[in-house]
């Protein structure tokens, strides 16, 4: 049975990310300017990385990065729209830009060769 570690992790991560983004936000603002943009960037670096590798588990195509960017971008847009209905949150174009830039960085992160060997061993079982 071929392992689907990235796919399962991507699903769990995206559900957790969406759930956390739907928590109402009250109280003091940001710790420092643009803290929320850095948070969006970091969260979507991880998401982009997981999505591109989960797609690769199903199909190894030449333009896999395009599919991953589309999926992560649409996810970011949907998340921003949903946040517009949550008290203390807002739908922000600039947050989506940070999501897109993070996903772009995550899609192009390379797995070190040692992790690839571990993945191949898991897939061969």
DSSP string of the chain? ----HHHHHHHHHHHHHHHHHTS---SS--SSTTHHHHHHHHHHHHHHHHHHHHHHHH---TTHHHHHHHHHHHHHHHHHHHHTTSTT----HHHHHHHHHHHHHHHTPPPPHHHHHHHHHHHH-
* pLDDT over 70 at 3, yes or no: no
Q: Tell me the mean pLDDT in the region 109-125.
A: 67
**pLDDT score, position 1:** 41
- 114 confidence band (pLDDT: 50, 70, 90): low
pLDDT at residue 28, rounded to an integer: 63
Q: What distance lies between CA 19 and its chain's CA centroid?
A: 13
Q: Identify the band that residue 115 occupies on the pLDDT scale cut at 50, 70 and 90.
A: low
Average pLDDT, the chain: 85
Checking if the pLDDT of 16 tops 80, the result is: yes
For 17-71, the pLDDT digits (tens) are 999 988 887 656 667 677 788 999 999 999 999 999 888 878 777 788 899 999 9
Residue labelled with tokens 């209905």: 85
Cα–Cα distance for residue pair 3/62, rounded to 1 Å: 21
pLDDT band at 103 (very low <50, low <70, confident <90, very high): very high
Average pLDDT of the segment spanning 91-96: 91
């Amino acid at each position: 049975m071929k392992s689907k570690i990235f796919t399962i992790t991507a699903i769990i991560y995206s559900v957790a990310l969406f759930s956390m983004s739907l928590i109402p936000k009250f109280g003091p603002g940001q710790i420092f300017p643009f803290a929320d943009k850095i948070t969006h960037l970091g969260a979507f670096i991880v998401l982009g990385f997981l999505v591109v590798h989960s797609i690769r588990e199903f199909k190894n195509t030449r333009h896999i990065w395009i599919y991953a960017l589309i999926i992560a971008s649409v996810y970011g847009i949907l998340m921003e729209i949903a946040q517009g209905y949550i008290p203390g949150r807002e739908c922000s174009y600039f947050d989506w830009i940070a999501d897109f830039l993070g996903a772009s960085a995550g899609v192009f992160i390379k797995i070190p060769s040692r992790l690839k060997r571990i993945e191949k061993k898991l897939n061969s079982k």
